[in-house]
Structure 1
Amino acid sequence: MSKGRHVCFLTGTLNAMAGAERMTAVIANALAESGHTVSILSLWDKESCFPLHPAVRHEALFAERPSFKKAYLATVAGIRRYCRDRKIDVLVQVDTMLALFALPATVGMGVEHIAWEHCHFDEDLGRRARRFARRLAARYCKHVVVLTERDRLRWEEALRPRSHVVAIPNPLPFPFPEEPAQRTSKTVLAMGRLVHAKGFDVLIQAWKRVAAEAPDWKLVIHGEGEERRALTKLIKELGLQEMVRLPGICLDATEAYRKASIFCLSSRYEGFGLVLVEAMAFGLPIVSTDCETGPRELLEAGENAVVVPTENPEALANGLLLVIQQPDEAAELGMASRRSAAGFETATIVAIWNAVAN
């Protein structure tokens, strides 16, 4: 990427503890650290959950989230004004849905567009407009960035895009740990938003059997979200209050990985599954569902993880008990997972972004 170009990341908000927002900050910071001119335009809320490099300029169109049906024209006009006044050369849409705003906002301005897809192609998150937005991105953006090679092939197969579709995985948001976790505690860690997609209800159901066979082990699920009340109720119904904890958002994820001995991903689907790479970097044995698209690309069953079907508490319990009850095999899986994570350091991934945005 030429350091004379101004790259702007267009996102909904940075004031949300979620993966796309976190990666926006990580990539923007890394590009700024390299000397590029970088800004972030949020549609609402000028605050950020994540630290930003001093050279990254962060602004917002609205103080609070508006109704975009009512504020559509104002949003388009605001994006156009921002790109004109800040002389934006490359606009990275941190969600293909943003093509619905960004493309009409910059007609005739010569702005180069990159659409960044954080979910897998066959999941529209309940919004039909997302399918239309993906078609717009595939036709009118210079690049579409997806997170896995599996998803890149799916885009090519389904849309035959004019855009260049490139797979760029999410990087580790922290330096690669010098040492793996010591794995001395009897703790299984899970991490993510407390939403249906993450399958924590399935994991808690699985833990009923795990607790019966390994009563000295604990499950810690870090995160926050709309399903907290339902998950808390399920824990109580299953009598697992002493074995399962929901401590909320983890402000220092690295410390949580260091304290754990096993990591479990119970998702129904994932665009990538950054928490897997983070846990793998600390050498934690992985027990994961075989869901699209990240886990299916990141994990090799029996080589660097135990992989089980989605929506299956019994299979998930079997996988967890296998790793708990066979410590030698668990240690081997952990070492293999750490080797697999070595290719996801920020410098490696940012080099690919440089080539795409050049």
Structure 2
Amino acid sequence: MRNICFFVGDISRSGGTERVTSVLANFLAVNGYQVSILSLQCGQKSFFPLNSNVSVCNIFDNAGRGITRLPLVILFLRSFVKKKNIDVFINVESMLSIYSIPAFIYLRVRNICWEHFNYKIDLGKKVRRVARILAACFADDIITLTERDKKFWLDKCFCKAKVNRIYNPVPFSLASDVDIRKKKIMLAVGRLTYQKGFDLLLKSWSIFCLKRQDWMLRIVGSGEDEEELKKTCDSLGVSKFVEFYSNTNNVIEHYSISAFYVMTSRFEGFPMVLLEAQEMGLPIIAFDCDTGPSEIIIENKTGWLIDNNDVSGFSDKVEYAASIYDDDKLYNEMVTCSIDNARKYHLDNIGKKWMRLLND
């Protein structure tokens, strides 16, 4: 069976990218593949559980400016794939192609770029744009997480690489254990950063709280904006209607008691939290940002899409969702539809698509 290596920034992080990498690595290991995870920096241990047959190692023990380390990383990768007899090398995020493309010149290693942002987002980094161009021209495959992002790649780049869309899998399957009756909690999970738009969520929530005070907003996550967000709660007068919980690898306990999932991200790649929410039967209210929500949410059946950055419109839909919850029949129908829609993202289905790709 083939020898697969996932190349990540830092597998010890607790984000969706690291979570889905761990899930897919475990699936492949169970199905007979030889699997390793290589972190660019830190990452001596995965934040999420790994199969005992998945090996983990890193290039650098500490963080640093990746581009200044370019020559060292190229030499390391070239030596690593030869020594480990790697057949397929998967860059978990297009940025990492800046290292692997030059490292594998004249080597018989299948080089896959697994994009986890969307093509429109470069975070102001020219090197990310360069990495995408290199991947489009010299990688063997580019895997996007959505059809919309696949189209971005094909429209914006001259792609010699094969471009395929494979959705991320939901990391757990517990729909049979879902308790239909939930508490009056609207849940949001993610890093407390600008990208995730929690500031917009709090503004929307403050409007909702003028009309109803019987609901709680629960925010689960950690990040550099945490203190500022708590100050925003105070200034908006909603502190008693908002709960903050630290990051956890047991997020299921929060999904299991919450009635709805809310997401106000400014941009995404393919938000894993929406898959997790649906698997646990939570209807979703989300901004229609690039990319992901529009391909996950079925309007009026599993949730609602709101124009990006429309705080007032989001608040109106939160109020509407609360009224749906008050009607047992309507709410239960949405819970059932959410669970049904999550099935196409189950690991067995998505994992088989990866196996077909790797064996091609």
TM-score range relative to shorter protein = over 0.9
Q: What pairs up with 1:111-122 in 2 under 5 angstroms? A: 111-122=109-120
Q: What is residue 6 of structure 1 aligned with on the other side?
A: 3
Shift of 1:174: 1.1
Aligned-pair distance for 1:266? 1.1
Contact kept? 2:294, 2:305, Cα under 8 Å: no
Mean CA deviation greater in 150-159 or 327-336:
327-336
Question: How does 1:28-177 map onto structure 2 within 5 Å?
Answer: 28-45=25-42, 46-177=44-175
Please give the alpha-carbon distance, in whole angstroms, between the structure 2 residues aligned to 1:181 and 1:287.
Answer: 20
Q: 2:217 aligns with which of 200, 219, 222?
A: 219
What aligned pairs does 1:182-261 form with structure 2 within 5 A after superposition? 182-261=180-259
Matched, 1:23 2:20: yes
2:334 paired residue number = 333
- After superposition, give the CA deviation of every residue in 1:88-131 in whole Å (9 maximum; x if it has no partner): 11100001111110111121121110000001111112212211
Give SS of 2:240's match. coil
Matched to 1:55, the amino acid is: N
For residues 194-216 of structure 1, give each alpha carbon's deviation from its aligned partner in whole angstroms, at most 9, with x where no partner exists: 11111111111111122222202
CA contact (8 A) 2:180 2:335 kept: no
The 5 A counterparts of 1:297-336 are 297-327=295-325, 328=327, 329-336=330-337
User: Does the residue aligned with 2:112 lie in a helix, a strand or coil?
Assistant: strand
CA distance in 1, matches of 2:151, 2:60: 37
Q: Which runs of 5+ in 2 are unaligned?
A: none
Q: 1:213 is paired with a residue of what secondary structure?
A: coil
Work out whether residues 119 and 270 of structure 1, in 8 Å CA contact, stay in contact via their aligned partners in 2.
yes
* CA distance in structure 2 between the partners assigned to 1:258 and 1:131 by the alignment: 40
Structure 1: any 5+ residue segments left out of the alignment?
none
Residues 210 and 321 in structure 1, CA contact (< 8 A), matched pair in contact too: yes
Taking only aligned residues, the RMSD between alpha carbons, in angstroms, comes to 1.3
User: Separation in 2 of the partners of 1:183 and 1:126?
Assistant: 44
| Kept after mapping to 2: 8 A contact 1:147/1:168 | yes
Q: Distance in 1 between matches of 2:249 and 2:22?
A: 15
How many residues matched?
355
Percent of residue pairs bearing the same amino acid type = 32
Counterpart of 1:287 (choices 285, 297, 313) is 285
Give the letter for the 1:295 counterpart. P
Mapped to 2, the partners of 1:232 and 1:100 lie a distance apart of 38
TM-score, length basis structure 1: 0.96
**Letter of the 1:44 counterpart:** Q
Distance 1:226 1:280 in 2: 28
Cα distance in structure 2, aligned partners of 1:258 and 1:80: 45
Residue of structure 2 equivalent to 1:344: 345
Cα distance in 1 for partners of 2:153, 2:181 equals 40
1:354 counterpart letter in structure 2: M
